[in-house]
Amino acid sequence: MSSEIKSQNKLAQGVLYVVATPIGNMDDMTPRAVNVLQTVDLIAAEDTRHSGQLLKHFMISTPLVSYHDHNERARTEQLIDKLLHGQQVALISDAGTPLVSDPGYQLVKAAQDKSIKVVPVPGVTAMIAALSAAGLPSDRFWFEGFLPHKKQARQQRLEELLKYSATVVCYESCHRIVACVEDLVALADNSRQITIARELTKTFETIKKDTAEELLAWLTADHNQQKGEFVLLIEGATKPKPEELPEDVLKVLDILLAELSVKQASQLASKITGYKKKQLYELALARKQG
């Protein structure tokens, strides 16, 4: 038994470990993660059949129970009861870090509400892996998770995301990647850089950065590039330079922003100053975001 688990066993109640697992390459499993999974009393997994292969690979014999979107509420109650009675529980997802576009939030919240200790065991997450190799600004980013499945809702959301000045990170499936890039061709300025990260850490890992138009041509020319799991990263919108507008116009905009929403402030500033609403809206949004 690991010293980490031994020390926690001294507590009257159990500890919930949130354990990251590989997204493809088994060598990315950390020794600490293996140690924790070997020594806890129970592992809650999104898909027990899928996770069973992981445990078999690392010779982990700890019992498994399912924990997914369809049984989250009932299973949370069961797991909290076990934790309150001193059992150590680990939470894992199919791949990567639990709760990052995967189940787990309800369990972590319930544990904290009962003053049960929650311990993260960090490791791989596709979002960060993609961001680190995307060649796009990473000092500020927005993680969107999965975009809406339906075309109209997806386009509406992309229109909003394209206004963000930070790099936007989305997950997408093989079934919708082409349609999503088609939407970006229609909505994004062709100078906007976009990175597709496909099958990260796996045999056919591919990372490609280009405009939406060029990426669409690349995807449609080779059907193999449409297979697998995708992370889509979109370059942030360029902030308008303050010097593009006179100082008195900026002052009016800042006064209005202190009291009104971005939309209301830019509309009223346009009426007062005579400058275009779109220009003032983009500048107001940039100033509001920091």
Distances in Å between the alpha carbon of 108 and those of 35, 84, 270?
Answer: 21, 14, 47
Q: pLDDT class for 97, splitting at 50, 70, 90?
A: very high
Q: Is the pLDDT of residue 9 over 90?
A: no
- 149 or 1: which leads in pLDDT: 149
- pLDDT at residue 74 in the model: 94
- pLDDT at residue 2 in the model: 64
The residue type at 151: K
Q: Is the pLDDT of residue 122 over 80?
A: yes
- 14 or 278: which leads in pLDDT: 14
- Lowest pLDDT segment from 91-100, 125-134, 233-242: 233-242
CB 91 within 8 A of CB 98: yes
For 102-113, b where at least 16 C-beta lie within 10 A, e where not — what string? bbbeebbebbee
Q: Which two tokens stand for residue 227?
A: 């297979």
- pLDDT at residue 290 in the model: 63
pTM, full prediction: 0.79
Full DSSP string of 12-47 = SS-EEEEE-B-SS-GGGS-HHHHHHHHHSSEEEES-
Q: Is the pLDDT of residue 209 over 60?
A: yes
230-281 confidence digits (pLDDT tens): 999 999 998 656 556 888 888 999 999 999 998 899 899 988 988 888 888 8
CB 166 within 8 A of CB 138: no
- Neighbouring C-beta atoms of residue 266, cutoff 10 Å: 24
CB 73 within 8 A of CB 33: no
* Integer Cα distance of 232 and 145 in angstroms: 10
- pLDDT at residue 189 in the model: 86
- pLDDT at residue 245 in the model: 80
163-188 confidence digits (pLDDT tens): 999 999 999 999 999 999 999 999 99
CB 215 within 8 A of CB 111: no
